[in-house]
Amino acid sequence: MSERVPILKIGDVLLVSIQIDLEDQMVMDLQEDLSQRIVDTGARGVVIDISALEIVDSFVGRMLASIAAISRVLGAETVVVGMRPAVAMTLVELGLSLGGVRTALNLEQGIGELRRSRRNGSVPR
Amino acid sequence: MTNVGESDRLVGLLTQGREEFTGKWVRGVTSTLAGRLTAAEVQQDLNELYTALVEALRNGGVATRNEAYGEVRSLLTELSRNRARQGFSPTETAFSVLALKDVLEPALADGADVKAYLQLARVLDDLGLYTIEVHAKTREEIISAQAEQLLELSTPVVKLWDGVVGVPLVGTLDSARTQVVMEKLLQSLLDLNATHAIVDITGVPAVDTQVAQHLLKTVVAARMMGAECVISGIRPQIAQTIVALGIEFGDITTKATLADALRHALDRIEERGPVEIGGLL
Amino acid sequence: MHESPITGNGDVVKARQAVRVLAQEARLSLVDQTKLVTAASELARNTLSYGGGGTMRASIVTRGTSTGVKVVFSDQGPGIPDLDLALTDGWSSGRGMGLGLSGARRLADEFTLDSAPGKGTTVSVLKWAR
């Protein structure tokens, strides 16, 4: 029962919307799948929507940070969007600040953020 | 358990002397309340209580844990709650019950009835303690309700501009309040699609390391949601304490006034330009 | 009282869900629910990674006028030699960021840790409804 999180491609952006409570294996699979898709598609942006996630623990937090780092190495900028207030407050208390991960309030803002960083040339081609 | 004969005797005596006893009881209690309650009000409470007490003695003897005392307890609960809300002290509240001992003492405490009197005294002591307990509990409820109201009152989140929300903080920041402020602020970011938040601390009397910690957490949480948070309203004295205490605000933007912070936020919004997603797709 | 084994990866998700149900039943605020469930998630993963599996027991508790949820994790693993060190941020002997124990302690209202080398580990977290 190795369910996988779907990765959608829109233009040169990969969109991941996490809709269910993730098992650890799915988290690790996602990291692997996403790296592969970035390479295969030449995507230059990744948006991870976590608005459906009721909790983010240190394991998932670490995954988000490493996805951001990996995709940056592969030439794509990652934006994590839709974090719920209760989740943000819990992560702060937990001692996690997701430094190095771009965030935005929602999908629209997230794509705007990618577009902006493209315009400012902060993503290597 | 007591023997039935004694409580029967008590019931008889109390029923017989009802007029005299309740009259003295009401006078005794009224005099200690120094006019804050009228004799008529006291009389109503105590008459009901007296009736319930006699009934409880008849059915349950002197065992106050007995369910026959249910009515007495519920009357006492109501009485204590009211007294606590009206601001009477625990002693004044308990005295409403204990005064009955003084009334009955001359009538019962000599000769054959002394044993019955002692047992009744114990019942009244028990009930007196019960009123104190209810009194204390009521006060606790009042305090926690007020604390909650204060939390609600003191943390309005206001929209300052399109995309900018602000919270003017007033008073001391403890962790319970921080949680409420934080939650409201973060929720408003989502609701108003605001990318900038301003926490104004003009009304915060002092900033120590703990308050700074709370402010920091708020800023970091907002940032994780994708919004920028500026702290404003840092008065000169507070700036001095912050430096003296060696508090590190890290890369958090701070401004002297709310106006400065708003200008900063608007500049940033202008810099970033509008959110356009059409061209990317 | 809810009791469940923590022996596989899927059990961490189940543990989270069980704690969430109790937290809602005990009327914890949304933020407090999230904090408790996150703490439970950290501890469940610890039980799995360091303790070699164990059990979770979760229950609603009352004290005076307060209601809360208590979650206890126990395992028969190698135990923790230095409790102070284990509660330091960033300390980790397995996978993870070393925020498990210290993070769970910060997220809970009450926290206990009982462990000794060879004796296994029992950790509990408690969160009160405000």
B4-148, CATH topology level:
Globin-like (1.10.490)
What pLDDT is stored for residue C21 in this prediction?
96
Contact between chains at B226 and A11 (C-beta distance less than 8 A): no
Coil, strand, or helix at residue C2?
Answer: strand
CB atoms C13 and A22 under 8 Å: yes
Q: Residues of chain A with pLDDT > 70: what percent?
A: 94
Cβ within 8 Å of residue B120, ≥6 positions away: B10, B57, B62, B101, B104, B108
CA-nearest residue of chain C to A22? C13
Among candidate residues B56, B83, B52, the one with its CA nearest the CA of residue B2: B56
Q: Measured between beta carbons, which residues in chain A are less than 8 angstroms from residue B190?
A: 85, 105-106
In this structure, are residues A114 and A13 in contact, taking their beta carbons and an 8 Å threshold?
A: yes
B137 touches chain C (CB under 8 A): yes
Shortest CB distance from C97 goes to which of A25, A54, A62? A62
What residues are paired with A55 via a beta bridge? none
* Distance of alpha carbon B260 from the chain centroid: 39
Ranges assigned E (strand) in chain C: 2-6, 54-63, 66-75, 110-116, 120-128
Task: Give the confidence band of C99 by pLDDT, cuts at 50, 70, 90.
Answer: low
The CATH H-level (homologous superfamily) assignment of domain B158-274 is STAS domain (3.30.750.24)
Nearest to B123 by CA among B78, B74, B56: B56
- pLDDT over 90 at C109, yes or no: yes
Rounded to an integer, what distance in angstroms lies between the CA atom of residue B222 and that of residue B215? 11
Whether A105 and B279 lie within 8 Å, measured CB to CB: no
Low-confidence ranges of chain B (pLDDT < 50): 1-2, 280
Question: Tens digit of pLDDT for each residue in A50-59?
Answer: 999 999 998 9
Overall domain count for chain C: 1
For B:255-274, CB contacts with A below 8 A are: 272-273
pLDDT digits (tens, 9 = 90+) for A44-93: 999 999 999 999 998 999 899 999 999 999 999 999 999 999 999 999 99
Q: What is the pLDDT of residue C95?
A: 46
Q: Is C15 exposed, middle or buried (0-12, 13-18, 19+ CB in 10 A)?
A: buried
- Whether the CB of C31 is below 8 Å from some CB of chain B: the reply is yes
pLDDT of residue B77: 92
The reported pLDDT for the residue numbered B1 is 43
Q: Where are the domains of chain A?
A: 7-119
pLDDT given for residue C98 in this prediction: 58
How far apart, in whole angstroms, are the C-alpha atoms of residue B34 and residue B30? 7
Mean pLDDT of C36-64: 93
How far is residue B166's CA from residue B258's CA, in Å, rounded to a whole number?
9
Residue of C nearest to A89 (CA): C31
Task: DSSP for C86-100, please give it.
Answer: HTSTT--SSSS-S-H
- In this prediction, residue C90 carries a pLDDT of 59
Contact C45 A25 (CB under 8 A): no
pLDDT at B3: 52
Q: Residue A123 pLDDT > 60, yes or no?
A: no
- Residue in chain B nearest A83 by alpha carbon: B225
Position B279 scores a pLDDT of 53
ipTM tops 0.85? yes
* Residue A50: half-sphere exposure toward Cβ, Cα within 13 Å: 29
How many whole angstroms separate alpha carbon B104 and alpha carbon B12?
13
In whole angstroms, give the CA distance from residue A2 to residue A13. Answer: 25
Check if the beta carbon of residue B113 is closer than 8 Å to that of residue B13.
yes
Query: Model confidence over C52-89: pLDDT tens digits?
Result: 999 999 999 998 888 999 999 999 988 887 777 777 76
CATH of the domain at C46: 3.30.565.10
The per-residue pLDDT for B153 is 66
In sequence order, the 6+-apart residues with CB closer than 8 A to the CB of B263 are none
C96 CB-near residues (< 8 Å, 6+ apart) = A58, A59, A62, C45, C46, C49
CA distance C58 to C101: 18
Name which of A92, A108, A113 is nearest B217 (Cβ-Cβ): A92
Instruction: Name the burial class of residue B169, with classes exposed (0-12), middle (13-18) and buried (19+) by CB atoms within 10 angstroms of its CB.
Output: buried
First to last CA, chain A: 38
Please state, as a whole number, how many other Cβ atoms lie within 10 Å of the Cβ of residue C35: 27
Amino acid B37: pLDDT: 82
Would you say the C-alpha torsion B100, B106, B112, B118 has a positive or negative sign? positive
Question: pLDDT grade, residue A124 (50/70/90)?
Answer: very low
Average pLDDT, chain A: 90
Q: Do residues B90 and B69 lie in contact, with contact meaning Cβ atoms separated by under 8 Å?
A: no
Q: Which pLDDT value is given to residue B244? A: 86
**CATH number of the domain at A7-119, please?**
3.30.750.24
- Is A20 an 8 Å CB contact of chain C? no
Check CB contact under 8 Å for B226 and A109. yes
pLDDT for A121 equals 64
CA B203: distance to chain centroid? Answer: 24
- Coil, helix or strand for A87? helix
**pLDDT reported for residue C96:** 46
Structure tokens at B239: 């700036």
Q: In this complex, do B176 and C130 lie within 8 Å of one another by their Cβ atoms?
A: yes
In chain C, whose CA is at the least distance from the CA of A57? Answer: C38
For residue range A8-37, list pLDDT tens digits in order. Answer: 999 999 999 998 888 888 999 999 999 999
- The reported pLDDT for the residue numbered B180 is 84
pLDDT of residue A122 exceeding 70? no
Beta pairing class for B158-161 and B164-170: antiparallel
Q: How many CB atoms lie within 10 A of CB B274?
A: 7
For residue B75, what are its two tokens? 């009357």
